Amino acid sequence: MVEARGESFPEIRESVRKLCAGFPGAYWRARDREREYPTEFVQALTREGFLSVLIPEKCGGAGLPLSAAAAILEEIHRSGGNAAAAHAQMYTMGTILRHGSDAQKQKYLPAIAKGELRLQAFAVTEPGSGTDTSRISTAARCDGDRYIVNGQKIWISRAEHSDLMLLLARTSPRDEAKPTEGMSVLLVDLREAVKRGLTIRPIRTMINHATTELFFDNVEIPRENLIGAEGQGFRIVLDSMNPERILIAAECIGDGRFFIDRAAAYANERQVFGRVLGENQAVQFPIARAYVQVSAAAEMVAKAAALFEAGGPCGTEAKMAKLLASEASWAAADMCLQIHGGMGFAEEFDIERKFRETRLYQIAPISTNLILSHIATHVLNLPKSF
Ligand SMILES: Cc1cc2nc3c(=O)[nH]c(=O)nc-3n(C[C@H](O)[C@H](O)[C@H](O)COP(=O)(O)OP(=O)(O)OC[C@H]3O[C@@H](n4cnc5c(N)ncnc54)[C@H](O)[C@@H]3O)c2cc1C
């Protein structure tokens, strides 16, 4: 493994590496081929307490900072695995932690920490709204002590492998003057909802991601499942997005390091023209460049995590970290594939699978253009284009 200088949480990283050694490339290839959820891997992560590190100790978790969760996800990805099957459990609970009532925290967080309840799904995106969240049309109409939900969501990952889901829905119609108001966050018990009007339809994609489409047909949700104030859902969701972006950026760093490890190892062993590939500077330099890019992006991820942990604003840094890390991991993926020549295309090397997987992060959970647009208008004071 190529040295990554000054790594935080060395003991946690070592335990994650040990766990991941039990889930080698063959495990991930088999799941990928059949588009199967990596249940055994997620159960092992849960058993070892890795998914509850961010839950406060008083609620049964480890109460560790965000950078510890980032180290866990980075190591999973560096080992060749994919944490996307479970990463949402780490950050979606933050919505309940920061905006839920005491009763909600008591009811859900200890059970999530114990692994008795899975909160793996977060439903925001809709076919008709795309990136413009203010245009979601899934509606939650208040009727006495319940909401009645109708509408459709798309790209909702892990809904089939979760007990609970956070849902962003309109509780009042869109007002042009305040387009981001009038949305609310509801906690949906998926085990009940699928019996009463919720249809979950899997979408087969270029990666094994357990993502789905959801159809709500008069689904009833108890009013007590409203998280935070009614109408303030957009702000609540935004608040949860910073840790999500930082953690996904950490996964990209792990991917980048995986590609660098593999490329350096292959360049040191593959013989062509009577010498190892790595003797050629035209082979060395792209690996060195990827190392520089991933290391620089890792610094930004660490900075964004530190700002989040200090409780200050970190939205811009979280977005910059995600942009830099997703571009660095993609550049490293391309480099690694090139250095493997034809072997990069062989399933058994895991390069082609990781290449497909790391591409997602320039699109989800927020696409590169939207980050650039934020920097342009919020940091550089350029005029808004939408
Ligand atoms: C595998 C997968 C898993 C996902 N999981 C979830 C999930 O669990 N929950 C959830 O809610 N969502 C999820 N998503 C949705 C994801 O967050 C969105 O796909 C993403 O935010 C982009 O939205 P969109 O696909 O609607 O793209 P669109 O909004 O249709 O945009 C298409 C492209 O145009 C660009 N673009 C749009 N508007 C502009 C503009 N004004 N200027 C410049 N460029 C622009 C975008 O950057 C993008 O590249 C997932 C998506 C995928 C593919």
Mutate to test the pocket of ligand 1, among 37, 131, 238, 326 (most ligand atoms within 8 A of CB): 131
Same domain, 92 and 124: no
CATH number at residue 43: 1.10.540.10
* CA of 350 relative to ligand 1 center, distance in Å: 26
CA triple 98-103-215, angle to 5 deg: 75
Residue nearest to atom 37 of ligand 1 (CA): 131
* CA of 206 relative to ligand 1 center, distance in Å: 15
Q: Domain for residue 1, yes or no?
A: no
Q: Is 367 in the pocket of ligand 1 (CB under 6 A)?
A: yes
Q: Domain for residue 92, yes or no?
A: yes
* CA of 128 relative to ligand 1 center, distance in Å: 11
Checking if the pLDDT of 57 tops 80, the result is: yes
Identify the domain boundary among 77, 95, 114. 114
Same domain, 267 and 345: yes
Residue nearest to atom 35 of ligand 1 (CA): 369
pLDDT at 1: 78
pLDDT at 2: 75
For 276-330, the pLDDT digits (tens) are 999 999 999 999 999 999 999 999 999 999 999 999 999 999 999 999 999 999 9
Residue nearest to atom 21 of ligand 1 (CA): 366
Q: Domain for residue 56, yes or no?
A: yes
Q: Domain for residue 385, yes or no?
A: no
Q: Domain for residue 319, yes or no?
A: yes
Q: Is 155 in the pocket of ligand 1 (CB under 6 A)?
A: yes
Same domain, 246 and 343: yes
CATH number at residue 138: 2.40.110.10
Checking if the pLDDT of 4 tops 80, the result is: no
239 burial (CB, 10 Å; 0-12 / 13-18 / 19+) is: middle
Q: Are 16 and 76 in contact (CB under 8 A)?
A: yes
* Structural domains in the chain (count): 3
Same domain, 294 and 214: no
Same domain, 256 and 360: yes
* CA of 370 relative to ligand 1 center, distance in Å: 9
What letter would DSSP give residue 304? H
Q: Which two tokens stand for residue 61?
A: 């978790």
Domain coverage including residue 220: 119-229
> What mean pLDDT comes out for the span 327-350?
98
* CA of 198 relative to ligand 1 center, distance in Å: 23
Q: Is 85 in the pocket of ligand 1 (CB under 6 A)?
A: no
pLDDT confidence band for 110 (50 / 70 / 90): very high
pLDDT at 7: 84
For 348-369, the pLDDT digits (tens) are 999 999 999 999 999 999 999 9
* CA of 123 relative to ligand 1 center, distance in Å: 13
Residue nearest to atom 49 of ligand 1 (CA): 367
Same domain, 32 and 92: yes
Same domain, 239 and 374: yes
Mean pLDDT of the chain: 97
Q: Domain for residue 5, yes or no?
A: no
pLDDT at 295: 98
Q: Are 160 and 199 in contact (CB under 8 A)?
A: no
CATH number at residue 302: 1.20.140.10
Checking if the pLDDT of 122 tops 70, the result is: yes
CA distance 188 to 77: 30
129 CB-near residues (< 8 Å, 6+ apart): 135, 136, 137
Same domain, 170 and 249: no
Q: Domain for residue 294, yes or no?
A: yes
* CA of 338 relative to ligand 1 center, distance in Å: 28
CA distance 189 to 134: 24
Instruction: Output the pTM of the full model.
Output: 0.97
Residue nearest to atom 33 of ligand 1 (CA): 367
Identify the domain boundary among 114, 146, 180. 114
Q: Is 125 in the pocket of ligand 1 (CB under 6 A)?
A: yes
In 10 A of CB 320, how many CB atoms? 22
Short-list 286, 294, 375, 278, CA closest to 336 = 286
pLDDT at 32: 98
Checking if the pLDDT of 5 tops 70, the result is: no
Q: Is 209 in the pocket of ligand 1 (CB under 6 A)?
A: yes
Same domain, 244 and 334: yes
CA distance 351 to 55: 34
Helix locations, the chain, DSSP H: 10-21, 25-34, 39-47, 66-78, 87-99, 102-114, 190-193, 233-269, 281-309, 315-339, 351-359, 368-374
Identify the domain boundary among 210, 229, 248. 229
* CA of 372 relative to ligand 1 center, distance in Å: 14
Checking if the pLDDT of 6 tops 90, the result is: no
Same domain, 336 and 261: yes
Q: Domain for residue 384, yes or no?
A: no
> What mean pLDDT comes out for the span 251-256?
98
Q: Are 58 and 22 in contact (CB under 8 A)?
A: no
CA distance 198 to 169: 14
Same domain, 25 and 161: no
Same domain, 225 and 140: yes
* CA of 248 relative to ligand 1 center, distance in Å: 15
Mutate to test the pocket of ligand 1, among 363, 368, 372, 373 (most ligand atoms within 8 A of CB): 363
* Atom from ligand 1 closest to the CA of residue 132: 29
Checking if the pLDDT of 128 tops 80, the result is: yes
Q: Is 198 in the pocket of ligand 1 (CB under 6 A)?
A: no
Measured in degrees and rounded to the nearest 5, phi and psi for residue 4 equal -110, 110
pLDDT at 26: 98
